[in-house]
Amino acid sequence: MSEPVLRLEGITKRFGTLTANDDVTLELRQGELLALLGENGAGKTTLMNILFGHYTPDAGRVVAFGHELPPGKPRAAIEARIGMVHQHFALAANLTVIENVIAGTERLFSFGLDKSSARAKLKELSARFGLAVDPDARVGDLSVGERQRVEILKSLYRDARILILDEPTAVLTHQEAEKLYATLRGMAEKGLSLIFISHKLHEVLAAADRVVVLRGGKVVAERRAAETSKDELAELMVGRRVARPQRDVQAPGAVLMRATSVDVMSSGTKLLSEVSFEVRAGETLGIIGVSGNGQSALGQLVSGLAKPTEGRLEMLGKEIQAPSPRSFVAAGVGRIPEDRNADGVVGDMLIWENAVLERVRGSEFSAAGFVRRTPSRAFAQTVIERFDVRGGTPDSPIRLLSGGNMQKLILGRNLATSPRILIAAQPTRGLDEGAVAAVHAEILAARRAGTAILLISEDLDEILQLADRVQAIVRGRLSPAIPIGAADPRRLGLMMAGVWDEAA
C-alpha cells in the first residue's frame, strides 16, 4: 500500500457551544478517490475548510506530503499543492475564466499579466482531463456545469496533487454527475489524490475507493467501497434508524390550485415558460429538479411574489388578478420559502413577531393600527407547543433557534391556521434527519386533512416519499405529471435532464 499523501490528525473545531469536528483523524493515499460521507451538520465541510486553511482548528494538525501545514493559511495549502472545489463556487462572475484562474498565481507586485501562456496551459489541461471551457468567457455567462469545471481547472492550473470537492454533484443532473465521477476517476488514475464530500449513498458506492463516515463531528467508520452496502452506510451515517413517515393512500378532492401556460419574466429574461400544473385537495404534487432550473421563480409565483406575464393562475376556482403575499395568505395559502433565513424569518426579531408577521393585519392580531400583543404571543406559544419548537420562548429572538426548529416554527405558523393550500419550497434543505422526519410528518398530516400541497424539492428521496404525482422542472419549463408509482430514480433522472417525451 502506498504512503499517505495527506494526514489529518486529531482535528477539533468548536463554534461556540457546537463542536463541529471532534478529534478527527484521516488519511488519503496517492491515486485514491476517498469519499467523506455524512449527513448535514456532520462536520464534513468544516473539516475540509480546516484542511484548506479557511478555518483555524482548535486542536490537531494537517500534514501534506510529509510537511505540516500552518493553520489558517489558504496560501500554504495551495503551495502544498492542495486544491479545493467549493460547493458554493468561489468564482468572480464579472471576471473571465482566465482571470479567475490566474488571480493570485503571480507575484502581486510585478508588471504584466501573462495571459497568453496561461491560456495555453489552460487549454492543455482542459484537453488532458476532459474539462472543456472557453478561457475568455465571462464566468457569469457560463452554465453551472462549466463553472464547476473552472473550479477544478483553477486547482489543476496550480499543479494540485490533492483535490477536495465539496458536494460536487449538488447542482448537477444525474447524467452530469456520472460524467463528473468518470472525470474524477480518470484524474485518480493519472496519479492525483481526491476527496469528495457527499451525503448521497449511491454516488459514494459507485465512485469511491474508500469511504470515511462522519457523524456528529466524529469519524464513526471507515470502509472499502467494495466491501460495504447502502444499508450499512445509511445506518452508519444516521446512527439510529429514523423511520421516515409513510404516505397512505387517499383519493384526492377538487382542484384547489391550477396554473395554465404561465410565463414569468423578470428584467427581460424568461424565468418560467408555459408552466402548467394542478394540485388537488388532499394531494401532494412534487416538483423535482436540479438546483437553479427555475425553482425560485416557481416558488415566487405560487407565494404571490411574482406576477404571471402570460397565462392563468387559479386558486380555489378563481383566477388571481393581482397576486400579492397578503392576498395569498388571506385566501388560505400557507407558504414555506425555500431560504428560511433570507425569506422565512427576520432573525433579529422575536419569535412571536415572526409568528404573526404575515397575518398581523388581520383583526385577530391587530386593532386600529396597534399590534395586539397578548393574542400574538398566545399564537406563538400555541405554535411552539403544537409543533414541538425547542430552544426559545415567544419573547426570544428567532435567530437563536436551530435550523430545524426555525423550520418547524415556519411550518407551524402556516399549519396552525389550517390552510387550504400549502406551498413547501425545499422544506427540509439543510436539516438533520430527525428534523426531516418531523417536517415530513407535518406535511403528511396536512395532506390527510385535505390540504392541497405543492412540494418543490431537489431531494429525490423526499419527492418519492411525499408526492402523489411528480413534474420535473428544467430551465423554467415543467414536464407533464407522472404518478409516483411510475417514477423510479432513472426515469426521474431523465426527466430532470429535460428528456420527458421519450420517458413518457
Partner 1 sequence: MRLERRANIPLSLAIAAPIGAVIAALLLAGILIAIAGAPVLEAYQRMLIGAFGSRLSITETLTRTTPLILTGLAAAVAFRARLWNIGAEGQFYVGALAAAALGSEHGLHLPSYALIPALMVAGAVAGAILLLVPLALRLRFGVDEVVTTLLLNFVAVLFVSMMIEGVLKDPLAFGWPQSVPIVGDASLPKLIARSRLHIGLLIAVGLALLIWLIQSRTLFGLESRAAGLNPSAARFAGVSLTGVLVKVACLSGGLAGLAGAIEVMGVKGYVTTDLSPGFGYTGIVVAMLAGLHPLGVVVAALFVATMFVGADGMSRALGVPSFIADVIVSLSLLTMLVGLFLTSYRIRR
Partner 2 sequence: MDALDIFASAGLWAAVLRIATPLIFGTLGALICERAGVLNLGIEGIMTFGAMIGWMTVYQGGDLWLGLLAAALGGAAFGLLHALLTVTLGLSQHVTGLGITLFASSLTYFIFRLSVPVSGTPPTIVPFQVIHIPVLSDLPFLGEAVFAQTAPTYLAVALAIVIAWGLARTPLGLAVRIVGENPHAAEAQGIDPIRLRIGAVVFGSALMGMGGAFLTLAAFNSFFPTMVQGRGWVCIALVVFASWRPERALLGALLFALFDAYQLRLQHIVGKAVPYQLFLMIPYLMSIVALLVMARRARVPQALMQPFRRGER
Residues of the shown chain interacting with partner 2 in the complex, contacts defined by CB under 8 A:
15, 49, 52, 54-56, 72, 74-75, 78-79, 84, 86, 88, 90-95, 99-100, 102-113, 154
Shortest distance in whole angstroms from residue 295 CB to partner 2: 23
| Residue from the set 346, 416, 464, 499 that interacts with partner 1 by CB under 8 A | 346
Shortest distance in whole angstroms from residue 112 CB to partner 2: 7
| Residue from the set 366, 381, 402, 417 that interacts with partner 1 by CB under 8 A | 366
C-alpha cell at 17: 457551544
Write down the residue that cell numbers 456528529 correspond to: 216
Report the residue number, 60 or 397, with the smaller CB distance to partner 1.
397
Closest CA to 322 of 305, 335, 336, 337: 305
Binding mask 294-313 for partner 1 (x = CB under 8 A): ---------xxx--------
| 301 contact partners, CB below 8 Å, separation of at least 6 | 259, 262, 264, 272, 275, 308, 313, 323
Shortest distance in whole angstroms from residue 15 CB to partner 1: 8
Closest CA to 380 of 355, 397, 363: 355
- CA-to-CA separations, 20 to 32, 39, 487, in angstroms, rounded: 26, 13, 37
Shortest distance in whole angstroms from residue 11 CB to partner 1: 17
Answer with the entry of partner 1, partner 2, none that 100 interacts with (C-beta below 5 to 8 A by kind).
partner 2
| Residue from the set 115, 361, 420, 491 that interacts with partner 1 by CB under 8 A | 361
Round to the nearest angstrom and report the end-to-end CA distance of the chain: 49
Provide the greatest CA pair distance for the chain.
77
DSSP 3-state of 350: strand
Rg (CA), the chain: 25
Answer with the entry of partner 2, partner 1, none that 54 interacts with (C-beta below 5 to 8 A by kind).
partner 2
Strand stretches in 414-468, DSSP E: 421-425, 452-457
Answer with the entry of partner 1, partner 2, none that 112 interacts with (C-beta below 5 to 8 A by kind).
partner 2
Closest CA to 286 of 431, 171, 430, 457: 457
For helices 403-415 and 433-448, angle between their N-to-C axes, nearest 10 degrees: 10
Report the residue number, 161 or 408, with the smaller CB distance to partner 1.
408
Closest CA to 344 of 265, 410, 278, 273: 410
Shortest distance in whole angstroms from residue 313 CB to partner 1: 17
Write down the residue that cell numbers 392576498 correspond to: 327
C-alpha cell at 455: 412540494
Query: Which segments of 80-170 does DSSP mark as H helices, in order?
Result: 97-102, 115-129, 144-157
Using the rule CB under 8 A, is 442 a contact of partner 1? no
Using the rule CB under 8 A, is 370 a contact of partner 1? yes
**HSE-CB for 442 with a 13 A CA cutoff:** 29
Report the residue number, 7 or 420, with the smaller CB distance to partner 1.
420
Q: How many residues belong to the site for partner 1 (CB under 8 A)?
A: 33
Shortest distance in whole angstroms from residue 171 CB to partner 2: 17
Taking the C-alpha atoms of residue 66 and residue 446, their distance in angstroms, rounded to an integer, is 57
How would you label 329-356 residue by residue, b for 16+ Cβ within 10 Å and e otherwise?
Answer: bebbbbbbbbebeebbbeeeebbbbbbb
**β-bridge partners, 215:** 218
Shortest distance in whole angstroms from residue 286 CB to partner 1: 22
Using the rule CB under 8 A, is 324 a contact of partner 1? yes
Answer with the entry of partner 2, partner 1, none that 366 interacts with (C-beta below 5 to 8 A by kind).
partner 1
C-alpha cell at 124: 492543455
Q: How far is residue 376 CA from its own chain's centroid?
A: 33
Using the rule CB under 8 A, is 322 a contact of partner 1? no
Using the rule CB under 8 A, is 407 a contact of partner 1? no
Shortest distance in whole angstroms from residue 113 CB to partner 2: 6
Using the rule CB under 8 A, is 326 a contact of partner 1? yes
Using the rule CB under 8 A, is 248 a contact of partner 1? no
Using the rule CB under 8 A, is 337 a contact of partner 1? yes
C-alpha cell at 123: 487549454
Answer with the entry of partner 1, partner 2, none that 416 interacts with (C-beta below 5 to 8 A by kind).
none
Using the rule CB under 8 A, is 348 a contact of partner 1? yes
Ranges within 2-41 binding partner 1 (CB under 8 A): 15-16
| Residue from the set 238, 357, 437, 499 that interacts with partner 1 by CB under 8 A | 357
C-alpha cell at 80: 502544498
Shortest distance in whole angstroms from residue 198 CB to partner 2: 20
- Per CB under 8 A, residues contacting partner 1 are 15-16, 303-305, 324-326, 329, 335, 337, 342-349, 353, 357-358, 360-361, 366, 369-371, 373, 396-397, 399-400
